[in-house]
Amino acid sequence: MKKRPFLMASLTIAGVFIFFLLVVFTSGIFRNGSVIVSISDKIGILEVEGPIADATLLLAQIKEFRDQDNIKAVVARIDSPGGGVAPSQEIYAELKLLAAEKTLVVSIGSVAASGGYYLAVAAERIFANPGSLTGSIGVIMSFPNYRELMGKVGVQTEVVKSGRFKDIGSATRPFTAADRILLQGVIDDVHQQFVEAVSDGRHMPVDRLQPFVDGRVFTGRQAKEIGLIDELGTLNDAIKYAAKVAGIDEDSDLVYPEPEKTNMIERYLQGAVSRYLGINLIEKRITGPQYFWDGY
């Protein structure tokens, strides 16, 4: 009899704990818009925003979606003018792996141009608004030249190099004809890689794509007419389509990746300094050839 209060208390605590677990596993715990624990079918939302300078975060987020069995489909919301060639290709390759295992649909926001469109062609279906901008299938490299300015202020640069092309692109000497031929070959090869990815993703022969791969942008409506996208529609339309193909309820919960963690200094730079100076002091610099639309 003396042990009964202790037994009742233990059973009560155990009951509360089991009830809590049931709540967690049936409805999920939400934090920062993300479902942390859930056993029901979900749709992952991958957000690609701004210039693509570093693939690290997106690669981790894509892998996270691949590894979660309850995420049956992923919708990539792209709002990007593109960026570096290498990070764009890394993300594209990971998206292709994801698409081989789960339904992958793209929704284009304001713009998915150049590298942004490169990512889009990894999906089985691309949605865009009629006024979205996309395309810009091309490559660009630019090199500033400060030689005349340096001459005016009396600054000279002495270069010692192992070969005539070692300082190609230098801001302190003019381009030579040989420089231009060499770099044009690099640009042409990287451009061909882009065209081949579009041809594969859109199931269009390269010769049919040729009139549209000179760097020009298209509206969503124009892109649909020539086959660069599949549907005119919103993010919600893309989500409904993804759910239908995956065979789950269109009202299934949406899962967003955990937001990137920033320290106090980064938050300050992103906030106060960026707001008052009008620049992003911690934005990564894009170097090398770029799948980038300069009109962004």
Compute how many other C-beta atoms are within 10 angstroms of the C-beta atom of residue 216: 12
Q: Which residues does 276 contact at the CB level (< 8 Å), separation at least 6? A: none
At residue 170, the 3 state secondary structure works out as coil
Q: In 3D, which of 188, 185, 212 has the Cα closest to residue 198?
A: 212
User: How many whole angstroms separate alpha carbon 182 and alpha carbon 37?
Assistant: 53
Give SS3 for 291: strand
Residue 69 is predicted with a pLDDT of 94
Q: What is the pLDDT of residue 183?
A: 95
Please spell the DSSP secondary structure of 94-160, one letter per residue.
Answer: HHHHHHHHSEEEEEEEEEEETHHHHHHTTSSEEEE-TT-EEE----B------HHHHHHTT------
pLDDT at 136: 98
- Looking at residue 179, its pLDDT comes to 93
Digitized pLDDT (tens) for each residue of the chain, 296 residues in all: 445 666 666 666 766 667 665 654 554 444 344 434 446 899 999 999 999 999 999 999 999 999 999 999 999 999 999 999 999 999 999 999 999 999 999 999 999 999 999 999 999 999 999 999 999 999 999 888 777 777 778 888 888 989 999 999 888 888 899 999 999 999 999 999 999 999 999 999 999 999 999 999 999 999 999 999 999 999 999 999 999 999 999 899 999 987 766 666 655 655 655 556 555 544 567 778 999 998 87
At a CB cut-off of 8 Å and minimum separation 6, what does 133 contact? 110, 111, 112, 113, 217, 218, 219, 220, 293
Phi, psi angles (nearest 5°) of residue 69: -65, -30
Distance CA 221, CA 275 (A): 35
Q: What is the pLDDT of residues 2-33, one digit of tens each?
A: 456 666 666 667 666 676 656 545 544 443 44
What pTM was estimated for this model as a whole? 0.81
Which pLDDT score, from 0 to 100, does residue 33 have?
Answer: 42
CATH code for 26-137+200-290?
Answer: 3.90.226.10
Contacts of 69 (CB under 8 A, 6+ apart): none
Cα Rg of the chain (Å, integer): 25
pLDDT digits (tens, 9 = 90+) for 262-275: 666 655 655 655 55
Q: Tell me the C-alpha distance between 5 and 10, whole Å.
A: 9
Catalytically annotated residues: 114, 166
pLDDT of residue 169: 86
Choose among 212, 213, 167: nearest CA to 188. Answer: 213
Whether 219 and 132 have beta carbons less than 8 Å apart is answered as yes
* Cα–Cα distance measured from residue 272 to residue 278, given in angstroms and rounded to the nearest whole number: 10
Contact 112, 80 (CB under 8 A): yes
User: Residue 74 pairs with which residues in a beta bridge?
Assistant: 44, 104
DSSP 8-state class, residue 55 = -
Kind and range of the H or E element at 268? helix 264-268
Instruction: Supply the pLDDT for residue 186.
Output: 96
